[in-house]
Amino acid sequence: MELEVFFEENLKVNARIGDQIVKTDQPVRAGGDGSAPAPFDLFLASLGTCAGIYVKGFCQQRGIPTDNIKIIQKHHWNPLTRLIDRIDMKVELPDDFPEKYKPIVIKAVDQCAVKKHLANPPQFSVSTT
């Protein structure tokens, strides 16, 4: 897989992935226009949405409605390292969600490819041409 990163005015940096464009910008307080999520926000959103697709797939396979299911993701910032050092994900299920599937929903979240890549990060190589 390959993607192309390209630049627009001010601090807009976008990625072309196949026929789709993922737009990013910086918040106004950081000198951007605030017209799109910041790249780091998209990174964090990729965790939650990746977990969500596994939960949704699990439910769809069993005919369980997903209308009232949410994932709340909280980020814990470490001021010493200036990095997020813990991410909590809470899957909010409706009262009528089958009890027997609750532990399996957690296992579904654990299948998230983004989460797995963070647990086993790839090596990076940067060069110029």
Per-block mean pLDDT, blocks of 10 residues, the chain (129 long): 96 97 98 98 97 97 97 97 96 97 96 94 95
The predicted pLDDT at position 32 comes to 98
Q: Cα separation of 41 and 24, whole Å? A: 9
CATH code of 107's domain: 3.30.300.20
The predicted pLDDT at position 71 comes to 98
The predicted pLDDT at position 47 comes to 97
Do 60 and 3 belong together in one domain? no
The predicted pLDDT at position 15 comes to 98
The predicted pLDDT at position 1 comes to 86
Whether residue 93 contacts residue 109, with contact meaning beta carbons closer than 8 Å, is answered with no
Do 64 and 23 belong together in one domain? no
How many structural domains are present in the chain?
2
Do 51 and 6 belong together in one domain? no
The predicted pLDDT at position 128 comes to 96
Do 25 and 51 belong together in one domain? no
Do 77 and 100 belong together in one domain? yes
Three-state secondary structure call for residue 125:
coil
Classify residue 129: in a domain, yes or no. Answer: no
Classify residue 128: in a domain, yes or no. Answer: no
* Residue type at position 120: N
> Which pTM does this prediction carry?
0.88
Range of the structural domain that residue 72 is part of: 38-123
Closest by Cα among 19, 20, 18, 38 to 28: 38
Closest by Cα among 91, 87, 92 to 40: 87
The predicted pLDDT at position 102 comes to 96
Do 75 and 98 belong together in one domain? yes
Q: Cα separation of 90 and 108, whole Å? A: 13
